[in-house]
A and B are shown apart, each in its own frame.
Chain A
């Protein structure tokens, strides 16, 4: 495995890991834009735009794109979060050049007005789909309550109203202001030649115009809220407890990964033994969501409605005594996390994602070996320091219960 990087004169950053013997190559464009970069009247535009990138360019109709992806067997998709929009494709090596040309052309969508109106219906269907998922409804409410006026809590999907009112020209403006090469990272991993990649990028992305792009990162205003949501015909009850956590550039992010593994991994964690093993909750987890300039620790449980109070008390007890573990627990959590990293590192897609995000936000390359070193060197002191700065006492408690 060998790492390479380059920057085009228009600011497009290129990172790549070449893996000898790999039969496939994964390509991704990482755009530093998402729901948090939207004005309130544009809620959902980043995600809607992500759909439109598959719907035609100056050279290709929407059908051309679909058919040409099919013709090279591209396993392609895209996703939008609060802060990033990522487009990716994995192909067998022989189709690498065709895949690159296609994906880079797609990145300059024409946002065709007819396709815009058809796709709007698809977005409204997607909103309806998520309304039928209780955990999604809870998560979205929890994020928006936790972040308050901070844009990191903006809804990715937007609402029926915001999507219905959105115009093609508003979307085109947003695209022009955000999809500048200096706001994008190109990440590639697998069986390809880096020199060839740079030449292709120069040829197909070299003409993209750079624009000054900024992102607001206001200070998160601390508050504390408890909220109960209800829903008819619900059989399960769900709770989410949130507290501020480290952001993605914090020096203790690895300590946070190990700590949440100890507290709330799906097996062998403290929540697992206290709740799942005892049959009190069918799901219990603690996560560290590390974002751009902000971060959250959140715990999630689902249980029988009559057990909710008891379960929430147990979760609180565990997250407010986060140091209650042995050195054996720490060592096991480190082994578990490190093994997962190595196994996931065997997927070209996963590595492409990892180096793409690292380049976009950390502006550095972290090899799998360095990541493993960082995980293996997490000490009790690191975790103590982390908790000193971010005590896990929940500031926000969100419940979803039957009406």
Chain B
């Protein structure tokens, strides 16, 4: 599956189309990114973005809810609607021959939802059930608590909402949220797979002629809190341990140092965390670290699940590895780079992941990185580069969250 050229077009209403035709695939995928999410919600309406997105498929000017669903199935459209923290998206994958029909449905749903009032209660009920379900799954719950405790407001919100917020939302809130935020200027449509560029560019143009408006970005300043430890008591077989601390965003010169470092820690089965915590000591089944980015900020998040009697030792070994006291060997560095590059290349084989990553790049960076650029960024990382990154970005601002029967302390 090789990719061809990348095309970008800005329509007169401000919507940006970014597209990458692929060879050797039958499928085509797209993602319409709208820059709104939980951070824009009012304090007493938490969950509004979630409910608005869930209500989109409950009927449009042209179709009832059932007709919409039948229409999606008729063309084999698999859709995903995700309401996020700062950006939300409508994404879909179909066979390339059905891409135009799929885009017709997408823009009908985004521009003309009818938001029937009698559907709000069922959508709200599902959101409340989602909140409850997290309570029953310790591995989900720990990440929910970490988000709440680590990120500054309003980034600490749950993208599902809160019980009080969800119960306080009515249909007029949903209509107003759509009116304020579902606007073309600021939104990004990304397409990848089997299609003809000119044909799709012109087709999308005909679908958005009546869509106008500019999204006024709310500037949210944020600073990370000081180091802290949160323990939440829960009866469970395993103790859940999660921690987070700041790293560097993709536009920072140290970005690829950070990415390769996190891969040294947690790349596949040769990562230091896996080797030290699981392979040598048998303390966990799952352990790992990841480099997560939201717009403008990145963090390293690390997780482990262990039985309570192993808790102290597990955390101690994790922290030792995260601090990076042990010198990185040339073999280790090479391994980490090959592993990371392989992942990058393999992702280019799927139209859905390609559509999502070119749209995401354009939104967060204002441009799309080529695979070659990413590979070069990884290749140029040196041991010295990682060491200097580690000197500047340590664990001082770590938030540690422990869920289970036992308390742990954070000794850095």
Segment with Cβ contacts to A, from B124-132, B216-224, B317-325: B124-132
Q: Given that A70-B336, A122-B282 are contacting pairs, would A75 and B346 also be in contact in the complex, using a CB cutoff of 8 Å?
A: yes
Contacts of A23 in B (CB 8 A): 1-2, 345-346, 348-349
B75 contacts A by Cβ under 8 Å: yes
Check if A346 sits within 8 Å of B138, measured CB to CB: no
Closest to B75 in A: A335
What is the CA–CA distance of A134 and B134 in the complex, to the nearest angstrom?
11
Contacts of B137 in A (CB 8 A): 132-134
Central interface residue in A126, A276, A282, by most chain B CB within 10 Å: A282
Central interface residue in A133, A279, A304, A342, by most chain B CB within 10 Å: A279
B369 contacts A by Cβ under 8 Å: no
Check if A235 sits within 8 Å of B136, measured CB to CB: yes
Segment with Cβ contacts to B, from A59-67, A145-153, A180-188, A386-394: A59-67
B83 contacts A by Cβ under 8 Å: no
Check if B270 sits within 8 Å of A66, measured CB to CB: yes
Contacts of B290 in A (CB 8 A): none
A277 contacts B by Cβ under 8 Å: yes
Check if B70 sits within 8 Å of A332, measured CB to CB: yes
What is the CA–CA distance of A131 and B404 in the complex, to the nearest angstrom?
14
Interface residues of A in 52-72 (CB under 8 A from B): 54, 62-63, 65-67, 69-72
Closest to A92 in B: B342
B302 contacts A by Cβ under 8 Å: no
Smallest CB separation, A340 vs chain B (Å): 7
B312 contacts A by Cβ under 8 Å: no
Contacts of A119 in B (CB 8 A): 282
Quick one: which of A75, A134, A236, A302 contacts B342, CB cutoff 8 A? A75
Interface residues of A in 6-43 (CB under 8 A from B): 19, 21-24
Contacts of B348 in A (CB 8 A): 23
Contacts of B238 in A (CB 8 A): 125, 128-129, 132
Smallest CB separation, B127 vs chain A (Å): 9
Contacts of B27 in A (CB 8 A): 342-343, 346
Check if B331 sits within 8 Å of A67, measured CB to CB: yes
Contacts of B336 in A (CB 8 A): 70
Smallest CB separation, B2 vs chain A (Å): 6
Contacts of B133 in A (CB 8 A): 235-236, 282, 302
Check if B285 sits within 8 Å of A129, measured CB to CB: yes
A143 contacts B by Cβ under 8 Å: no
Interface residues of A in 258-295 (CB under 8 A from B): 267-268, 273, 276-282
Quick one: which of B73, B129, B268, B331 contacts A74, CB cutoff 8 A? B268
Check if A129 sits within 8 Å of B74, measured CB to CB: no
Central interface residue in B133, B271, B279, by most chain A CB within 10 Å: B279
A347 contacts B by Cβ under 8 Å: yes
Contacts of A331 in B (CB 8 A): 74
Central interface residue in A71, A90, A91, A276, by most chain B CB within 10 Å: A71
Central interface residue in A66, A120, A278, by most chain B CB within 10 Å: A66
A317 contacts B by Cβ under 8 Å: no
A233 contacts B by Cβ under 8 Å: yes
What is the CA–CA distance of A268 and B272 in the complex, to the nearest angstrom?
45
Segment with Cβ contacts to A, from B18-26, B109-117, B202-210, B359-367: B18-26
Q: Given that A66-B269, A268-B69 are contacting pairs, would A342 and B26 also be in contact in the complex, using a CB cutoff of 8 Å?
A: yes
Closest to A344 in B: B27
What is the CA–CA distance of A273 and B270 in the complex, to the nearest angstrom?
46
Quick one: which of A24, A268, A346 contacts B346, CB cutoff 8 A? A24
What is the CA–CA distance of A333 and B130 in the complex, to the nearest angstrom?
27
Check if B136 sits within 8 Å of A236, measured CB to CB: yes
The 8 nearest A-B residue pairs measured at CB: A339-B76, A279-B122, A70-B270, A73-B342, A121-B282, A279-B125, A70-B335, A332-B73
Contact sample, A vs B, 7 pairs, CB 8 Å cutoff: A129-B237, A129-B238, A129-B305, A131-B237, A132-B237, A279-B129, A303-B129
